[in-house]
Amino acid sequence: MKFYFRLIFIAFLFASCHKKEKNTTSSELVMYQPSEMASLMNTMYYMNADIKKKILNNENIGSFPERYLTIHTAKLTDNNDRTSDFEKFSLKYIDNMKLLYKENPQNQKSNFNKAVQSCIACHQTSCRGPISRIKKLLIK
Ligand code: HEC
């Protein structure tokens, strides 16, 4: 049983940014709570996977999800990660996302990719772990 927990935990670490810092015991494992930011990120991941499908199927993508704006306030696992660079990248990201919802559908593919590129741009400076997963969101 313990072995499987370990496997799941290792898989989790692979997808997150704080790989090397943690030396975890099983009790910490059970106690683990993702930060507000990590939960937001996972939500954004799944919402964008859904948007990608809608774009590919020519479906309406709805309106800009206001909860994305909580990127400016959500608590990070490590509060020191909210640097001035982080703020800059998050503003750029939000701008690009808003453009995707504002502009006409002809530009959706390229605007979507631009928004996803701004996820990646931030991750290249602050959290490299999930980059290969995020790249899968790009529309080819
Ligand atoms: C402004 C910088 C920034 C932007 C933009 C950004 N991220 Fe993140 N992302 C982070 C940071 C920092 C973390 C670590 C959060 C933490 O551990 O509290 C993170 C964590 C994650 C995680 C791992 C969550 C976990 O369970 O640990 C995923 C997946 C992720 N981001 C996907 C995305 C996707 C998809 C987008 C765009 C739709 C995106 N990110 C945009 C900085 C960013």
Q: How confident is the model at residue 32 (pLDDT cuts 50, 70, 90)?
A: confident
- 86 Cα to the center of ligand 1, angstroms: 11
Q: Is 68 in the pocket of ligand 1 (CB under 6 A)?
A: no
pLDDT of residue 92: 98
Q: Atom 39 in ligand 1: which residue has the minimum CA distance?
A: 119
What is the rounded distance in angstroms from the CA atom of residue 80 to the CA atom of residue 35? 13
Which residue minimizes the CA distance to atom 24 of ligand 1?
38
Ligand 1 atom 1: the closest Cα is on which residue? 90
- 10 falls in which pLDDT band (50, 70, 90)? very low
Q: Whose CA is nearest to atom 32 of ligand 1?
A: 41
* Spacing, Cα 134 to ligand 1 middle (Å): 9
Closest-CA residue, ligand 1 atom 4, reads 119
pLDDT tens for each residue of 61-102 = 999 999 999 999 999 999 899 999 999 999 999 999 999 999
Query: 128 alpha carbon to ligand 1 midpoint, in Å?
Result: 9
Q: How far apart are CA 11 and CA 102, in angstroms?
A: 37
What pLDDT, on the 0 to 100 scale, is given for residue 41? 97
| pTM score of the predicted model | 0.86
**pLDDT per position as a tens digit, 106-139:** 899 999 999 999 999 999 998 999 999 999 999 9
| C-alpha pair distances (Å), 114 with each of 12, 92, 97 | 27, 10, 8
137: closest CA among 42, 73, 9?
42
Q: Tell me, what's the pLDDT at 40?
A: 98
Give CA–CA dist 69/118, Å, rounded.
15
Cα(55)–Cα(82) distance, integer angstroms:
32
| Å from CA of 136 to ligand 1 middle | 14
Q: What is the residue whose two structure tokens read 């991750």?
A: 123
Q: What is the mean pLDDT of residues 5-10?
A: 49
